[in-house]
Amino acid sequence: MSDPAATAAPAAPAPVPVPTPGPEDHLPGWQQWINQFCENWIFAFLVAMAIRLFLIEAYGIPTASMEPMLYGDPGFLKGDHVVVDKLVWRFTGISRWDVTVFQFPLAELESRSGRDARPAVDDRGERLDRPFTRPPMCRNFVKRAVVLPGDVFYIAGGNIYLKQADGTFAAAQKPEHVQEAVWQTIWQHGAQPGYLPWEGSGGCTVADAGGTLRLSLAAGGTCSFTQPLRNLYLKPNPVRVARLPAAPNESGDIVQASLVAPQFRARGVEGNIWDLDHWQISRLTSADLDSGSHGTELNPLMDEWVGDLRLVAQVARLEGEAAIILRLGSLRAWILHLRADGWRLEADGKELAAGKESPLGRTIAFAHLDDRVSLRFDGREVAGAMVAPGDAQRNRPGLEITGSGTLDLAGAHLQRDLHYSARGFLCDDSASFKRYSEDVRKVADEEGRDTLARHRDLIRQVREQMRPGVTLTAAQATAPWGFSPETAITAPADGYLLLGDNSPHSWDARMWGWVPARNLRGEALAVLLPPWRWRIVR
pLDDT in tens, 78-100: 889 998 988 888 888 899 999 99
Contact 490, 502 (CB under 8 A): no
Q: What would the mean pLDDT of 159-177 be, rounded to a whole number? A: 97
In angstroms, rounded to a whole number, what is the distance separating the alpha carbons of residues 170 and 166? Answer: 11
Exposed e or buried b for every residue in 26-61, given b needs 16+ CB within 10 A?
Answer: eeeeeeeeeeeeeeeeeeeeeeeeeeeeeeebebbb
**pLDDT number for residue 255:** 95
pLDDT of residue 56: 60
User: What average pLDDT score do residues 149-160 get?
Assistant: 97
Give all domains of the chain, ordered by start, each with its CATH number: 184-416 (2.60.120.200)
Confidence band of 189 (pLDDT split at 50, 70, 90): very high
Q: Nearest to residue 332, comparing CAs of 309, 298, 360?
A: 309
pLDDT in tens, 311-326: 999 999 999 999 999 9
532 to 79, 369, 418, 430: CA distances (angstroms): 12, 31, 24, 45
Residue 246 pLDDT exceeds 80: no
Give tens-digit pLDDT for 491-500: 999 999 999 9
